[in-house]
Amino acid sequence: MLVSQKISTRRNQIMAVSLQMMRKLGYQGTSMREIASALNIEAASLYNHISNKEEILKVTCFGMGNQLLLGMNEVNDIYFNAVEKIKMLVKNHIRVLTTDLNAGWVFIHEWRNLSETSRLDFIALRDRYENGIIEILQQGENEGVFNEVNNKFAALTLLSSLNWIVEWYKPGGNMSPDEVAEKLTDFILSGLKKD
Amino acid sequence: MLVSQKISTRRNQIMAVSLQMMRKLGYQGTSMREIASALNIEAASLYNHISNKEEILKVTCFGMGNQLLLGMNEVNDIYFNAVEKIKMLVKNHIRVLTTDLNAGWVFIHEWRNLSETSRLDFIALRDRYENGIIEILQQGENEGVFNEVNNKFAALTLLSSLNWIVEWYKPGGNMSPDEVAEKLTDFILSGLKKD
DNA sequence: CCTACCGATCGGTAGG
DNA sequence: CCTACCGATCGGTAGG
């Protein structure tokens, strides 16, 4: 029991260090030797805790993706009208991305480096999320509260502003994740123009 | 004259092939040998036309960046009110990114791989563009046509939807760059909600 | 967790 | 534009 806890802790350290380096240097720009060196061990020792470099990426991308999908399911189960759903979805999305910004950044940028089969799985997962957003927008149209727009286009634009947050969000800054979510929702719902 | 034209053409071929591969595999994932192989020459021969791998990235990132800044200067010279400025800026931004989507993609994603000094220059250039947008938003506020918002935040959100286009735009699809720009402007100005 | 090592590949240069 | 090559580095394994 103690042993497996130790291993698990080491694994967590490896994950944390890897994601930090990958955010700075990219997946391909981060070597196993550098990860090991940051932990004061040899590269070969990493393989006692993870099976290979790609596992780091796979666990991160699918972990984040599943968190987003879980949030979406929850939103659809609990909230009734489209505006409420969008608000909750945005809040969850920002929370998931900012809870571990290194993981969020890698999730957004580095999934392309997944091997062929994993990449296809990831794209399928992402498409499910995207389609869920399209459905909410459609619901809003049906309710008569959203403008009639190209929902696919609107969903992509919405997602772009949600995902871009990993580029500029500073955890120690003057906006909490929920405040960001609130401002973003206002922007998405009302736009720049004064009524 | 003929010789220099030949060289220049070869250089353009190298640029085009490189950007296509880098869009698919990333800057670090694209090797000089693979670029050469796609042109049926040896890797060493590339160095008669470009000085090194980074030059491809540098020319692309600063070329695109300068195009965006030029467009912004033009907009500020010609258009008077903020709504008109935003419309024109968005149109120019989308045009620049979609004219060569490979270059657009590399510009948006791969500038991080620039060497230290170039990267700092690039960030400075990007900040100038960002500040230009903030100024237009401020002008719109002063004119009383835009909501009072955090302009920095609004500028980043605006930029996110402009830049995300390199992720999903399909040149052969059913929207021209100018149509995308128009829809995007509507979205940014008016948001999702029905008035 | 380490030593020792593998085959492969990298960006780039010398010299023609 | 090529041949021949450089030193460096990569992800990963064998065996302890």
| Average pLDDT taken over every residue of chain B | 94
Percent of chain A with pLDDT over 70: 96
The whole-number pLDDT of residue A6 equals 53
- Do A58 and A127 share a structural domain? yes
Q: Which residues contact B1 (CB under 8 A, 6 or more apart)?
A: none
Mark whether A74 and A137 lie in a shared domain: yes
Q: What is the pLDDT of residues A162-177, one digit of tens each?
A: 999 999 999 988 899 9
Terminal Cα distance for chain B, rounded: 62
* Phi-psi category of residue A72: left, alpha or beta, with phi > 0 → left and psi -120 to 50 → alpha: alpha
d(CA B65, CA B128): 10
Query: Is B40 in the same domain as B70?
Result: no
Which of B175, B188, B193 is closest, CB to CB, to A145? B193
Tens-place pLDDT, residues A2-20:
455 554 799 999 999 999 9
Closest residue to D4 by CA to C1' distance?
B44
For residue A5, the model assigns a pLDDT of 54
User: What is the pLDDT confidence band of residue B2, given thresholds at 50, 70 and 90?
Assistant: very low
Q: Tell me the residue range of the domain where B45 lies.
A: 1-51
Tell me the pLDDT of chain A averaged across its residues: 94
**Is pLDDT of B139 > 90?**
yes
| Closest to B149 measured CA to CA, from B164, B133, B162 | B133
Chain B residue whose CA is closest to A109? B109
**Percent of chain B clearing pLDDT 70 (strictly above):** 96
Query: CB of residue B30 closer than 7 A to nucleic acid strand C?
Result: yes
CB A65 within 8 A of CB A44: no
pLDDT digits (tens, 9 = 90+) for B59-102: 999 999 999 999 999 999 998 899 999 999 999 999 999 999 99
B86 contacts B64 by C-beta, under 8 angstroms: no
pLDDT beyond 80 at A194: no
Residue type, B11: R
Domain count of chain B?
2
| β-sheet bridge partners, residue A146 | B193
Q: Is the pLDDT of residue B130 over 80?
A: yes
Evaluate the CA torsion angle B1, B3, B7, B13 in order and state its sign: positive
Task: Tell me: do B64 and B148 sit in the same domain.
Answer: yes
pLDDT in tens, B41-61: 999 999 999 999 999 999 999
Closest CA to A136 of A91, A180, A73: A73
Residues B40 and B80 in one domain: no
Same domain, B67 and B37: no
Structure tokens at B163: 């830049």
Find the CATH number of the domain harbouring B66: 1.10.357.10
Q: In terms of domains, do A61 and A99 share one?
A: yes
CATH number at residue B34: 1.10.10.60
Cα separation, B57 vs A130, in Å, equals 32
Of B189, B192, B195, the CB nearest to A140: B192
When pLDDT is cut at 50, 70 and 90, the band that residue A193 belongs to is confident
Does residue B13 register a pLDDT over 90?
Answer: yes
Does A93 share its domain with A163? Answer: yes
State the pLDDT confidence band at B174, using cuts at 50, 70 and 90: confident
> What pLDDT score does A143 carry?
95
Nearest nucleotide to the CA of B48, by C1', is D1
Do both B24 and B82 map to the same domain?
no
Q: Provide CB contacts within 8 A for A125, sequence distance 6+.
A: A62, A65, A66, A69
Which residue has 């402007």 as its token pair? B185
Instruction: Please report the pLDDT score of residue A1 as a whole number.
Output: 46
Residue A95 CB in 7 A reach of strand C:
no
| Residue pair A82/A161 in contact by the 8 Å Cβ criterion | no
| pTM for this predicted structure | 0.93
**Same-domain status, A90 and A149:** yes
Interface test with B, best of A83, A192, A195 (most B CBs within 10 A): A192
Query: What's the pLDDT at A98?
Result: 98
Shared-domain flag, residues A126 and A107:
yes
Model confidence over A87-140: pLDDT tens digits?
999 999 999 999 999 999 999 999 999 999 999 999 999 999 999 999 999 999
Q: DSSP state, B41?
A: S
B33 and B44 belong to one structural domain: yes
Report the pLDDT value the prediction gives residue A108, as an integer from 0 to 100.
98
Looking at the DSSP bridge assignments, the partners of residue A193 are B146
pLDDT score of A148? 87
